[in-house]
Copies of this chain bind each other. A is one copy, B any other.
Amino acid sequence: MKVSELKPGGLPPADVFDRMCPSRGVLEHVTSRWGVLVLGALNERGYRFSELRRKVTGVSEKMLAQTLQTLERDGFVLREAHPVIPPRVDYSLTPLGREAAELVAALAHWSERRVPEVEAARQAYDGRATALR
């Protein structure tokens, strides 16, 4: 028996590999298709809605709005709506969001750097698969 189980105040250890653990959902939000890119962009600087839309190419208005809402609800993104005409809404990272964004940005930059290696691996794999037929 573990010591932690004897502590009445201790939380159960989180485990992303457990499908019922809430940490799984947190991880899925920050690694979601558009969530990764929004966090990565906001890690550079604050953005307005339409700026983000142009920066993260391929995202629809609907998915961008939905992604921002999810990230705001999780406490990662700060939404500041200015009551001016035309409307203006600024998005930025909270301290919690910055932690996630730094890790996500590291992954994004790594992906950018390793494209040649990945493409070489794919060619090798496909060549081998073809040779077997």
Q: Check if A110 sits within 8 Å of B103, measured CB to CB.
A: yes
Q: Does A10 contact B (CB under 8 A)?
A: no
- Interface contact A107-B22, CB-CB below 8 Å: no
Whole-angstrom distance between the alpha carbons of A18 and B56 in the complex? Answer: 7
Each complex incorporates copies of this chain amounting to 2
**Of residues 93 to 116 in A, which have CB atoms within 8 Å of B's CB atoms?**
96, 99-100, 103-104, 106-108, 110-116
Residues of B within 8 A of A103 (CB): 103, 106-107, 110
Q: Give the interface residue-count category, chain A.
A: 35 or more
A124 to B28, CA, bound (A): 21
Query: Do A73 and B125 contact each other (CB < 8 Å), given the known contacts A33-B28, A37-B17, A40-B17?
Result: yes
Chain B residues with Cβ below 8 Å from A73 are: 121-122, 125-126
Cβ-based interface call for A61 (8 A)? no
Q: Is the interface of A mostly helix, strand, loop or mixed?
A: helix
> For the complex, is A133 an interface residue (Cβ under 8 Å from B)?
no
Q: How far is the CB of A16 from chain B (nearest CB, A)?
A: 5
Please give, as numbers and ranges, the residues of chain B lying within 8 Å of A74 by CB-CB distance: 118, 121-122
